[in-house]
Chain A
């Protein structure tokens, strides 16, 4: 074997842990969780092996999105503190390996989903991967501050895919779950982008705080939180869930609105003074986990 250039770590075969890091496991956990909840609230559960495979395919599809996102944005990631140590900007992997891994993982997840469950779920999974990579990463993210608004649809697919994988058809409840995540994404990401604004500015990403300023972003966070809260509570008055979900969704959404109002009232431009933004960001993750957990509990409780 010819000697390799040790000054260029990317010339070495990449460590398997770096392939795992490409899939953004932390982001994947939320995707898997919402997909699992979408599958657990169906009227008739599928066989365990098929349900497990559906969730596995959603996870692999999300991993493919993460890998292709990091492949495309390697130069941008190198400019941001938060992402500079990822495998590609860190120089621990060559870009071609990341591309092959992402495309292979995505194709495998769609094929397995189609063969194990149904081709409507596979088509939705393929659409979500393609939407995330081409519409969000390549087209919207570097061009418009509305990137998160439209791109949020990609992250909203999992509960819909979980439901369709189990039932083979669409229904009102999973479409509402899609709407909840779609409307939750802008306040969640804008809260983050307010206190890491300098990172996005340095990388040239036109996030709303960079383009329109903190005040506009805070107003938009509050405005988007209102329809998000309404869509979160909506399954109850529509008769799609029970009162336990309705009460919990109302309380959780009320707290979300209070935290969004505190963000709206904040005037600090310094990240140190952005405690309300940090609180909203942390709570928004808890909010989605809690909301979907209650949804499943409400579905399976005997009363």
Chain B
């Protein structure tokens, strides 16, 4: 029973970490393009 609980917790933590990594990566890319736009190198 405890093993099942641990598996569920680990699975959710892994999924949340993956989503957070994707979001942070997307945010870094967004900041890059915002910087380009603000410095006048318009896209």
Residues of A bordering B, CB below 8 Å: 1, 3-4, 6, 12-16, 46-50, 52-53, 56, 115-116
Across the interface, which residues of A come within 8 angstroms of B33, CB to CB?
Answer: 48-49, 52
Indicate the member of A13, A14, A46, A56 with the most B CB atoms within 10 Å: A13
Residue of A nearest to B33 (CB): A49
Q: Is chain B's interface secondary structure helix, strand, loop, or mixed overall?
A: helix
Rounded to whole angstroms, the CA-CA distance of A88 and B5 in the bound complex is 20
Beyond the given pairs A47-B37, A48-B43, 7 more chain A to chain B contacts, judged by CB atoms under 8 angstroms and listed by A's residue number, are A1-B6, A3-B2, A6-B5, A13-B13, A15-B16, A47-B42, A49-B33
List the 6 closest A-B pairs by CB distance, nearest first.
A49-B33, A47-B37, A49-B37, A47-B42, A3-B2, A16-B19
The answer to whether B9 and A49 have CB atoms under 8 Å apart is: no
A6 x B1 contact (CB < 8 A): yes
Per-residue CB proximity of B1-35 to A under 8 Å, as 1/0? 11011101100110110010000000000100110
Across the interface, do B37 and A13 meet the contact criterion of CB distance under 8 Å? Answer: no
Residue of B nearest to A115 (CB): B34
CB distance A4 to B9 under 8 Å? yes
Chain A positions within 8 Å of B13 at CB level: 13
- Cβ of A108 to closest chain B Cβ, rounded Å: 10
